[in-house]
Structure 1
Amino acid sequence: MWKKALCVAVLALAVGYIYHFDAGLPGAAVDYLSESLRDLRGTTSVEQRLAAAWDAVIVPPVKQWTKVAVGVNACVDVVLSGVKLLQALGLNPGDGRDHEVLRSRADLKEAFVHFMEKGAAAERFFSDKEAFQAIARAASEYPGAQIYVGGNAALIGQKLASNPNLTVLLCGPIGPKLHELLDEQIAVPPESLQEVDEFHLILEFKAGEEWGRSRAPSASRFIFSHDVSNGAMNMLEVFVASLEEFQPDLVVLSGLHMMEGQSPETRESRLREAAASISDIPSDIPVHLELASMVDRDLMNNIMHQQVFPLLNSLGLNEQELLFLTQSSSGPHSSLASWNGIPDVGVVSDIIYWILQENGRTEDGRGSDLTRVHFHTLTYHVLATVDGYWANQVAAVAAGARVAATQACATEDIDMSRVVLKAPMEFTTSGSDDHVTKISFNPLEPVSLWKRGTVTFHYTPVLICKDPVRTVGLGDAISAQGLLFSEMAQQ
């Protein structure tokens, strides 16, 4: 048995070497090693074969990041069952309805039910400060409520800090409780420290959970807050100013969605200021933006076309954000009201390609520096890059998918008894009549690749945790892990 395991390990390393160091080697070499892995598959499950194949291709980049600066939204998360909190607040089940801004407990209940029935994640601003504080007290005192590091930037920083060879700078509104919770390896500029923490309430629901007539098709969470510091992105200028001394290899930004709680006039002015600050980041430092749930189409459209996207190198987002982005800008498939179950791979690919064509490098080399989009949904991931700008992306997308399984189940390694594969095994690469290729997924070849113009797409399934311990921050962990295995190609 040990001899067979050793052979698998050696072959895995060989395949990883070929994927990483010379994608141009003769196809026969890759085919030979892939065939050898197939011969050793035995009677293992499809999930086990996929996990073993990931191990074969997840190899570190030649040039790894040494210093990463992350900003600018950070908070303390209070995590608990959404249904139990609403019951504790004296609310009864009823019909769901989305609200762009929450103004009352009734709005909170309706919005929670709306997204619970969809099995989708969402985030909303609660406008009434006193009402929010009362709900926050009830949540933090509820038996079983858990307190964690929160905010996309802080969560990404925490994940990056798990790499002992990486120095991480985190800038955001960091109060005493959050500072206590942060990894010791994370450096915090003194200007980021404040006397009071910002709290976000995360109402989780499980797959199949019921409340009244409502039933959740999949596990996810509903987030809400009355967050003034993050909403104004107060720490953005402090963050950019700190880069000169820190000298990072990579900048990761998040928190733009928090501006939705402001008036349209204030938000528009602040977005212009934010774009001006981001443009001050030296052009030789790649910038990644992590999007989050939004409801204001004007804000999203301004971020994409007028303000931020032209300043980026990389973008991370999920299915809700991808669809809202194309709806806001009348992009491909913008008439689609919502995803019907698992997002169609071809439709996702069309929208990603449009994003890169609108805001990235065109085939003749013109345009901005946006050359990478990392899309993640529950069942699969797609990482698309403009050719010539990024390396090691096979490893990056596989590493992101692997961490989704371990983080959701709160295990160091994938526990095969707790994961299941639900990704489409056959799909087309476009939702339109053009550029369509049909792909049949083979778990022994864990990353499927296809090209469209100068854009290469990388697809891999996710091993879904059947009993997730915590869903908050999963997208942030996925993007962070994908970035850890990425490198900018030499121009």
Structure 2
Amino acid sequence: MWQKATAVALLAFAVGYFYHSNPDLPEQVLQYLPFPHAPTQREPSLEHVISTAWEALITVPAQQWGRVAVGVNACVDVVVSGIGLLQALAEDPGPGHDHEVLHSKKDLKEAFIHYMERGSAAERFFTDKEVFQRIAQAAAEYPGAQLYVGGNAALIGQKLATYPQLMVLLCGPVGPKLHEMLDEQIIVPPESLQETDEFHLILEYKAGEQWGAARAPQANRFIFSHDVSNGEMSTLETFVASLDEFEPDLVVLSGLHMMEGQGRQMWERRLKEAVAAISDVRNAVPVHLELASMTDKDYMNSIMQEQVMPIVASIGLNEQELLFLSQAGAGPHAELSSWGGIPEVGRVSDILLWVLERHGRSDPESEADLTRIHFHTLAYHVLATVDGHWANQVAAVAAGARVASIQACGLQKIDASKVALRAPLEFHSSHSEPREKLFINPAKPVTIWNRGNVTFHLAPVLVCKQPLRTVGLGDAISAEGLIYSELRPSRPSL
């Protein structure tokens, strides 16, 4: 017995000596040793440091918006488990395949699997009204199905309405169910009200969820609908006509992506009419354009070049939309078929700069109005602005990152134990030379760099480990970024 006791004592002495000379010894080792020791003081996590630092960075702008008009897509979202619904529709797992437009349940299954395997968001138009209605009925009756306010414009309006100092006008096809769900602070023109609601089906999947051979690398969703009212932007003229009386400080436009599934002849006509309508308001107030998933390169080129993008002051988009925009316009890194994980910051920076140089006002002699792009992806956000046009962008990009964490987790404020930092702590300002090596400082978690007269602000996102809902995150991010943004009064053409 005495030999065993001596051995334990020697072991305790040795480890004790090692502990005092090396205090990083794991606590789980020390707890099994037969001697008392002082508890170690844990350093705060990077997530805690970043979330605390955001509170100091996110300050309201000197000049705030008072009245914001939002249009023109609105609907009711039916949110269900994607795999669960497809199984309820008697679909079996199989290989994924992308479809620009959905014509059948088989197309739906293949497109869903294609994007689930990539963990990417996507939105598609379903052409067969009767089949869509049967799927919608099955979705509404599926256990756990939930109904929410849907459509980019309505979601942005809902987020803006959480700020009591803002008056919000929402114009879109608003049916009785949607009207009932909207915040009381939102003003809906009588001309926007319609007898029936438009429904969009949101097929969600969780990180690690598997169906057959397909496995989701992260949580996301696949959206589809048979939505003619939003597809034709039928309330656009009503929206523009409402602006004279409402007199907004800011106009937020969304829904252009809905026209893509209506056919080239229709979208060419409506896009020209949309440009004419937007041109009537752009000299009075800045216009923010919220983009969404598209697949027709000709349509995207029409939006970029001679049509919409040059006449708006700001745009918001995610990683799929940014890459597709570059692919459609033969821009930087257009050879990539997909990002293949977290988008490289240098490549994102290259494309953002290209958009502002080619379609924006980075050249002071340009007649374009585009001076701001708010890019968001799961792990980080970037705000790129032409110098001299926007202020308070550090607060704006941080506020967008903060709301992504809060809303995904369904909390009122960030809980550092429920989020994870996935942004790269080191990155480059460009994918090619010359490029600058940059870092994220958790204590000051907005990294800033310049390329010519364009300034970039990057904020890491604290990604929710177990997200409750992914739909509408991009709209909340853009809305929050706009709330904290300030347009400089010296803008030349606005």
Establish whether TM, by shorter chain, passes 0.5: yes
Q: What are the within-5 Å matches in structure 2 for residues 21-36 of structure 1?
A: none
Secondary structure of the 1:148 match is: strand
Secondary structure of the 2:173 match is: coil
User: Could you say which residue in structure 2 is the equivalent of 1:87?
Assistant: 87
User: Could you say which residue in structure 1 is the equivalent of 2:153?
Assistant: 153
1:383–1:393 Cα contact (<8 Å) kept:
yes
User: Could you say which residue in structure 1 is the equivalent of 2:334?
Assistant: 334
Distance 1:362 1:223 in 2: 35
1:299-354 deviation per Cα after TM superposition (whole angstroms, max 9, x unaligned): 10100101101110000000000000000010111111110210000000000001
User: Could you say which residue in structure 1 is the equivalent of 2:239?
Assistant: 239
1:42 to partner: Cα distance: 7.7
2:98–2:111 Cα contact (<8 Å) kept:
yes
User: Could you say which residue in structure 2 is the equivalent of 1:211?
Assistant: 211
Give the aligned CA root-mean-square deviation in angstroms. Answer: 1.0
Distance 2:141 2:109 in 1: 19
State the one-letter code of the partner of 2:479. A
Distance 2:179 2:58 in 1: 33
The reply to whether residue 302 of structure 1 matches residue 302 of structure 2 is yes
User: Could you say which residue in structure 1 is the equivalent of 2:439?
Assistant: 440
Distance 2:361 2:261 in 1: 33
1:432 to partner: Cα distance: 1.7
1:415 to partner: Cα distance: 1.4
The reply to whether residue 248 of structure 1 matches residue 248 of structure 2 is yes
State the one-letter code of the partner of 1:483. L
Q: Which runs of 5+ in 1 are unaligned?
A: 1-40
Q: Which runs of 5+ in 2 are unaligned?
A: 1-40
State the one-letter code of the partner of 1:380. Y
User: Could you say which residue in structure 2 is the equivalent of 1:166?
Assistant: 166
Distance 1:382 1:294 in 2: 21
Distance 1:282 1:337 in 2: 35
Distance 1:483 1:238 in 2: 24
Bigger shift: residues 275-284 or 442-451: 275-284
Distance 1:116 1:369 in 2: 37
1:39-91 deviation per Cα after TM superposition (whole angstroms, max 9, x unaligned): xx982110000011111110000010010000000000000100000000000
Distance 1:206 1:363 in 2: 44
User: Could you say which residue in structure 1 is the equivalent of 2:318?
Assistant: 318
Distance 2:80 2:228 in 1: 23
1:450 to partner: Cα distance: 0.3
2:76–2:148 Cα contact (<8 Å) kept:
yes
Cα distance change, pair 274–363 in 1 and its aligned pair in 2 (3 A) = closer
Distance 2:363 2:103 in 1: 47
Q: What are the within-5 Å matches in structure 2 for residues 400-419 of structure 1?
A: 400-419=400-419
Q: What are the within-5 Å matches in structure 2 for residues 4-153 of structure 1?
A: 43-153=43-153
Distance 1:278 1:448 in 2: 34
User: Could you say which residue in structure 1 is the equivalent of 2:28?
Assistant: none
User: Could you say which residue in structure 1 is the equivalent of 2:259?
Assistant: 259
1:205 to partner: Cα distance: 0.3
The reply to whether residue 423 of structure 1 matches residue 423 of structure 2 is yes
Identity %: 67
1:117 to partner: Cα distance: 0.2
Distance 2:239 2:378 in 1: 32
Q: What are the within-5 Å matches in structure 2 for residues 411-490 of structure 1?
A: 411-434=411-434, 436-490=435-489
Cα distance change, pair 464–242 in 1 and its aligned pair in 2 (3 A) = same
Distance 2:483 2:396 in 1: 7
Bigger shift: residues 357-366 or 193-202: 357-366
2:204–2:221 Cα contact (<8 Å) kept:
yes
Distance 2:282 2:138 in 1: 45
1:305–1:359 Cα contact (<8 Å) kept:
yes
State the one-letter code of the partner of 1:482. G
Runs of 4+ in 1 over 4 A off after TM superposition: none
Distance 1:469 1:163 in 2: 23
Normalised by the length of structure 1, the TM-score is 0.91
1:180 to partner: Cα distance: 0.3
1:359–1:367 Cα contact (<8 Å) kept:
no
1:232-256 deviation per Cα after TM superposition (whole angstroms, max 9, x unaligned): 0000000000000000000000000
State the one-letter code of the partner of 1:56. A
1:282 to partner: Cα distance: 4.3
Secondary structure of the 1:208 match is: coil
Distance 1:89 1:260 in 2: 27
User: Could you say which residue in structure 1 is the equivalent of 2:222?
Assistant: 222
Secondary structure of the 1:288 match is: strand
State the one-letter code of the partner of 2:466. D
1:417 to partner: Cα distance: 1.6
Structure of greater Rg: 2
1:363–1:453 Cα contact (<8 Å) kept:
no
User: Could you say which residue in structure 2 is the equivalent of 1:359?
Assistant: 359
Secondary structure of the 1:101 match is: coil
Distance 1:282 1:265 in 2: 26
Secondary structure of the 2:233 match is: coil
1:360 to partner: Cα distance: 1.2
Distance 1:275 1:366 in 2: 18
User: Could you say which residue in structure 2 is the equivalent of 1:345?
Assistant: 345
User: Could you say which residue in structure 2 is the equivalent of 1:391?
Assistant: 391
Cα distance change, pair 42–458 in 1 and its aligned pair in 2 (3 A) = farther
Distance 1:383 1:271 in 2: 27
Secondary structure of the 1:289 match is: strand
State the one-letter code of the partner of 1:398. A
Distance 1:89 1:362 in 2: 51
1:225 to partner: Cα distance: 0.2
Normalised by the length of structure 2, the TM-score is 0.90
1:198 to partner: Cα distance: 0.3
Distance 2:432 2:364 in 1: 24
Secondary structure of the 1:251 match is: strand
State the one-letter code of the partner of 2:423. A
Q: How many residues align?
A: 450
Distance 1:472 1:247 in 2: 30
State the one-letter code of the partner of 1:199. F
User: Could you say which residue in structure 1 is the equivalent of 2:30?
Assistant: none
User: Could you say which residue in structure 2 is the equivalent of 1:38?
Assistant: none
1:296 to partner: Cα distance: 0.7
Distance 1:106 1:42 in 2: 53
State the one-letter code of the partner of 1:254. S
Distance 1:365 1:318 in 2: 29
State the one-letter code of the partner of 2:309. F
Distance 2:321 2:489 in 1: 31
Distance 2:440 2:367 in 1: 34
1:364 to partner: Cα distance: 3.3
1:121–1:221 Cα contact (<8 Å) kept:
yes
Distance 2:189 2:91 in 1: 42
